[in-house]
Structure 1
Amino acid sequence: MEFGDKIKELRTTNQLTQEQFAIRLNVTRQAVSNWENNRNLPDLELLILISSIFHISLDELILGGSNVNNMTEKLIKDGSKTRRAKLNMITTLIGSFLLFFGFACFFIKMNSVEYIDETGILHENFYLLPIGFLFLFAGIIVFLVTGIRFIIEIVRIKAEKTN
């Protein structure tokens, strides 16, 4: 059973008009109409509210039986998009911090004073150069991997749309 049919059945079983159903869920009547005609789908918070108000399990509401319908596909797709977006954001932040620390090492090295003390020992922050290059290299690698994964995902989505 499609999600729209399930919502309409739930509404008519409780002897509610679309307007009354919408008022109970604090949405517009047009939103209920769009749900029933499978033009749009409610978000997760509304699904939880519908299941609690009308005493129906989320499994029964979303799956409508044992078949996977478009609501289930939407929830799965939304979940994977959210995880992908979070992963992209985290890797971008990590790459930015790595690049920042690399440039900070170069800046500190550039502004540090090198001197020879009275015992003839050279005092220099020579270790900042390889550490700076290491941070820059790691940041660039993180950005490249994230960019390549993003491009591959776009190509995969376009290929799915054409099939």
Structure 2
Amino acid sequence: MQFGDVLRGLLEETEITQKQLAAELNLLPATLGRYIRNEREPDIETIKRIAKYFHVSTDYLLDFQSGRTFSHIEDEVLRIFRSMTSEQQVIYVEQGKAVVRLNQKEKEAKSS
């Protein structure tokens, strides 16, 4: 997948318009449109600003995977987690732990 495809997906997921993103990042709307259409590639500083804005890694934006690769669902969980406040992250982790404990109890009950 190319950079513009990833960026388009993030815009759709977050329901942010190109115009809104361009204003937030101090980019010309036409320049952002070229990125999305894969007609032009942003410089590294712009890539970093876009990654920070969407709470994703630059590797995610560039569709680069090194070492261990994550499944789509793992990427989604990480993206959601990074978009939360610190307080929301603590709650999210505690809820995840509760689900794991519940699953473990169910497994133990079935094997007994």
Q: Give the TM-score category using the shorter length.
A: 0.5 to 0.7
Provide closer, same or farther for how the CA distance between residues 65 and 45 of structure 1 changes in structure 2, counting only shifts above 3 A.
Answer: closer
Q: Which runs of 4+ in 1 moved over 4 A?
A: none
CA RMSD of aligned residues (A): 1.6
Q: What is aligned with 1:60?
A: 60
Contiguous gaps of at least 5 residues in structure 1: 68-163
Normalised by the size of structure 1, how large is the TM-score? 0.38
How many residues of Structure 1 are paired with residues of Structure 2 in the alignment? 66
Map 1:38-57 to 2 at 5 A.
38-57=38-57
Distance 1:66 1:44 in 2: 17
- Percentage of pairs with the same residue: 32
Higher-Rg structure is 1
The answer for the alignment partner of 2:81 in structure 1 is: none
Matches within 5 A, 1:15-54: 15-54=15-54
Give me the whole-angstrom Cα distance separating, in 1, the residues matched to 2:34 and 2:56: 21
Per-residue displacement from partner, 1:11-39 (whole Å, max 9, x unpaired)?
11111111011011110111111001111
Q: TM-score, normalised by structure 2?
A: 0.55
Amino acid at match of 1:4: G
User: Which residue identity lines up with residue 23 of structure 1 in the other structure?
Assistant: A
The structure, 1 or 2, with the larger RCO (C-alpha pairs under 8 Å, 6+ apart) is: 2
Deviations 1:38-68 (A, max 9, x none): 1101111111111111100111111x1549x
